[in-house]
Amino acid sequence: MEKIFYPKSLVVVGVSDKADNLARNIANNLLLFGYQGEMYLLGRQAGRTLDHPIYTSVDELPPNLDLAVILTPAATVPGLLDDLGKRGVRYAVIETAGFSEFSEEGAKLEREIGQIAQKWGMRIVGPNCVGIINTESGICTIFVHTEPSEMMPGRTSLMSQSGGVVLTCTDMMTACGLGVAKTVSVGNKLDLKESDYLKYFLQDNATDIIMLYLESINAGRELVELAGKSQKPVIVYKSNTGQASAQIAQSHTAALANDERVVNAAFAQFGITRAYTFRQMMTFGKGFSLPPVRGNRLAVFSRSGGHAIISVDCASEFGFILPPYPDELIEIAKPFFRVNVIERINPLDLGTVFNFDSYPLLIEEAMKIMQPDAVLLIFNYRRETIPKAREVAERLKALSLHYQIPVALVYFTEMDEIAYLEKNLGFPVFPEVYEAVQALAASRDHYFRLKRREAFISEATDLTIPANAATKARNVLKNVRNREVSIDQAMQICEDYGLSVAPWAKVSNADQAAQEAGQIGYPVVVKVAASGATHKTDVGGVALDIKNEGELRKAIEQMQQRLGPSSGFLIQKMVYGGREVILGGKRDPSFGPLILFGLGGIYAEVFSDVTIRLVPVAKGEVEEMLDELRGAKLLKGVRGQPSADHQALVEMLLKLSRLMEELDEITEIDLNPVLVFEHGAQIVDARIILRD
């Protein structure tokens, strides 16, 4: 990847001396941005442009150039790439469009490019992209004219599936003061994928903050695991969300764990910050450019009582607490106020303080005395105060860096002054109180999540699962004839992994049913055992609360009349009481195996109250799952009800995690309902779907 972002030699392919030639724009941008390496130009007609000769044959180029940047008609790319590979080029940025995104003929060309790249051991950026930018090495392969003044150097790197988004984000990154370290437009991702670029940015010494714009996620598991191993913040704007609900699955697990929920859960689990707008990306980026927020204690200073009230609302929304200011700080502040009465409340209203030199002094004293996790200054002022306001900003920047306590500056003044500060201060300035607090919260949540995950991983998980669980389960799966496992086979697999199941037996006829029911003990439940009977209740395949043999025989006879010949029945102990919950597992095509937990019964249908984790999970992560539900209080006991067995649920979810981790034959498992009691929990019904 270094040869892509730091090439010592390169060739731009497709250049002519015409002013509107796009490849010529690429070469011109490289010169404008100060690229110091060897640059060669290749085109169809010999000539000269930008004080460089235009070669017409790959054979005229020096061998073993580091990088080729190609912008020629799609049909010409395979031949050019093959010639470049033969000449020793091992890295190429293909900006040409008209491949798999355009037509089947284009897709064939793209496959041919892939074969040629594989033949020469060549790595490809694109095709169908605007290429790369590296402000450190003077690389800018954008094919529209770009001035260096339009792109301020910084320490934030961006990967985008859209070239247009690169241009939008670099403008915004420059305008808000973050600046640009590197960008890459990945296009069709023929070769290099999101995770490849993320891995590079995480190791890159010139990058502190990483932003990704993604329309699809091909290797989600690798992406989040990479992010979770680094302290660098990763901000992802994931679009194309409407497809998540396009296909409704039959089971609760598949319906509840749709794509968007999986994305959100995976990002949160591994410390990725998700943005929903470009402005939000910039807001979070500014928050991460401050020293990290390590807790919830926020100190607020405001020149306006109204803005102070807004800050209280925002702090509450994002989970910050506002500790009262100590007497020691109030005594220091008194001489600067024009009135003698100062309330010790936080926020501190500086409305009567016109000595602006006192702002840094008071904030520094607050840092030393209170050691808050973050400071918020809301400063509204007019044009005549601009010089002093700039001085205050510079002093607070120095204090923030010295004490390693983030100071979020919210400046309310004329827009051109805000724009000046954002671009020139070298320290974030926020245009709204809400955005400042949101940025601080993103920083806090990111570092908190990483710290928690490290603690979870280091914990020992004491879990009793039979050593041969996977072997026994696979022996059951050998006898499965359909993708959907029969209920008795599903129950057996659960038991193999130590999951508690309500007592059951598989029978073929009414006589066997009567015998087994006598051993299990009435009342019992009868269920059709055939695979494919997904919603057994809907088709009359379940009879509840059967109290004696007569009722049992009658129920089986009625099912046979309604449903025809059956492959058998499940006789199960009728279980009363308890709280209904759902446990599920799914194998996501991008993120791999995951588990799901939610409230059952009407809560599943009405509230879709679920929480998700990728597996394997640690005990601490499972305990978080139980606490995350909106209806968590229902499990803890309300109005005199005993609490549900927390430990039993934790153990069940850990065992389910192990099952999903080990049995890659299973694409989906739905344990619904599971009844949780004051002591213990039991699975009442189970459904398992195997991969194709």
Determine the pLDDT at residue 340: 61
Handedness of CA 688, 689, 691, 692 (dihedral sign): positive
Q: State the DSSP H helix or E strand holding residue 573, giving kind and residue range, or none if neither.
A: strand 569-573
Is 410 inside a domain boundary? yes
Q: CA-to-CA distance for 254 and 670, rounded, in angstroms?
A: 8
Tokens of 439: 């940025």
The Cα 599–Cα 628 span in angstroms is 11
Q: Residues 183-215: pLDDT tens digits? A: 999 999 999 998 999 999 999 999 999 999 998
* pLDDT of 603 higher than 80: no
Same domain, 182 and 306: no
- Identify whether 674 is part of a domain: no
Name the band, by pLDDT with cuts 50, 70 and 90, for residue 471: very high
Residue 345 dihedral angles phi and psi, to the nearest 5°: -70, 160
Is 343 found in the same domain as 215? no
Q: Tell me which residue range forms the domain holding 186.
A: 2-227
219 and 294 share a domain?
no
3-state secondary structure of 11: strand
Coil, helix or strand for 350?
coil
**Whole-number pLDDT of residue 634:** 81
pLDDT at residue 160 greater than cutoff 80:
yes
Non-local (6+) Cβ contacts of 82 within 8 A are 116, 119, 120
Which of 211, 227, 243 corresponds to the end of one domain? 227
User: For 8-37, what is the mean pLDDT?
Assistant: 97
Confidence of residue 250 (pLDDT cuts 50, 70, 90): very low
Q: Do 67 and 142 belong to one domain? A: yes
- The predicted-structure confidence for 39-81, as pLDDT tens digits, reads as follows 999 999 999 999 999 999 999 999 999 999 999 999 999 999 9
Please report whether residue 403 resides in a domain.
Answer: yes
Domain boundary residue among 173, 197, 227? Answer: 227
pLDDT of residue 341: 54
Q: How confident is the model at residue 252 (pLDDT cuts 50, 70, 90)?
A: very low
Please report, to the nearest 10 degrees, the dihedral formed by the alpha carbons of residues 99, 105, 109, 114 taken in order: 80
Distance between CA atoms of residues 358 and 287, nearest Å: 25
Which residue, 394, 423, 457, sits at the end of a domain? 457
The strand pairing partners of 526, in sequence order, are 543, 571
**pLDDT > 50? residue 249:** no
**Domain match, 333 and 200 both:** no
Torsion 679-680-683-684 (CA) sign: negative
Are 316 and 443 in the same domain?
Answer: yes
| Bridging pattern class, strands 38-42 and 9-13 | parallel
**Count of domains forming the chain:** 2
Q: What is the CATH number of the domain that holds 327?
A: 3.40.50.261
- Residues 296, 198, single domain; the answer is no
Q: What confidence score (pLDDT) does residue 363 get?
A: 97
Same structural domain, 314 and 168: no
Does 284 map to a domain? Answer: no
Q: What is the pLDDT of residue 640?
A: 64
pLDDT of 356 above 50 = yes
What count of Cα atoms within 13 Å lies in the side-chain half-sphere of residue 382? 2
Which pLDDT belongs to residue 543?
94
What pLDDT is stored for residue 551 in this prediction? 95
Out of 16-25, 147-156, 245-254, 293-302, least confident range: 245-254
Global pTM? 0.90
Same-domain pairing of 433 and 317: yes
User: What is the predicted pLDDT for the residue at 639?
Assistant: 67
The answer to whether residue 244 scores a pLDDT higher than 50 is: no
Q: Is the pLDDT of residue 102 over 90?
A: no
Backbone angles phi, psi at 141, to 5 degrees: -100, 20
Token output for 151: 């792109």
- Residue 333, domain member (yes or no): yes
Average pLDDT over residues 408-434: 94
Whole-angstrom CA distances from 336 to 39, 91, 209, 339, 529 are 62, 63, 39, 9, 80
Beta-carbon contacts of 247 under 8 Å, excluding residues fewer than 6 positions away, are none
State the Cα–Cα distance between residues 506 and 484, nearest whole angstrom.
17
What string of DSSP letters covers 607-623? H--EEEEESS--HHHHH
Q: Classify residue 182: in a domain, yes or no.
A: yes
Residue range 528-549: mean pLDDT, rounded? 76
- With tokens 């209806």, the residue in question is 631
CA-closest candidate to residue 233, choices 307, 304, 283: 283
| Percentage with pLDDT > 90 across the chain | 78
298 shares a domain with 171: no
Task: Answer yes or no: is 265 within a domain.
Answer: no
Taking the C-alpha atoms of residue 407 and residue 78, their distance in angstroms, rounded to an integer, is 53
CB atoms within 10 A of CB 112: 16
**Dist CA 24 CA 43 (whole Å):** 10
Report, as an integer, the average pLDDT of 149-162: 94
Pairing of strands 579-588, 666-676: antiparallel
Question: Does 655 reside within a domain?
Answer: no
- What average pLDDT score do residues 85-108 get? 95
The share of the chain scoring above pLDDT 70, in percent, equals 94
Question: Residues 222-249: what's their mean pLDDT?
Answer: 78
| Average pLDDT taken over every residue of the chain | 91
Tell whether 166 and 94 lie within a shared domain: yes
pLDDT of residue 164: 92
Same domain, 64 and 202: yes
In angstroms, the Cα distances linking 54 to 8, 70, 77, 140 are 19, 14, 18, 20
CATH of the domain at 140: 3.40.50.720
- 692 versus 417: the higher-pLDDT residue is 417
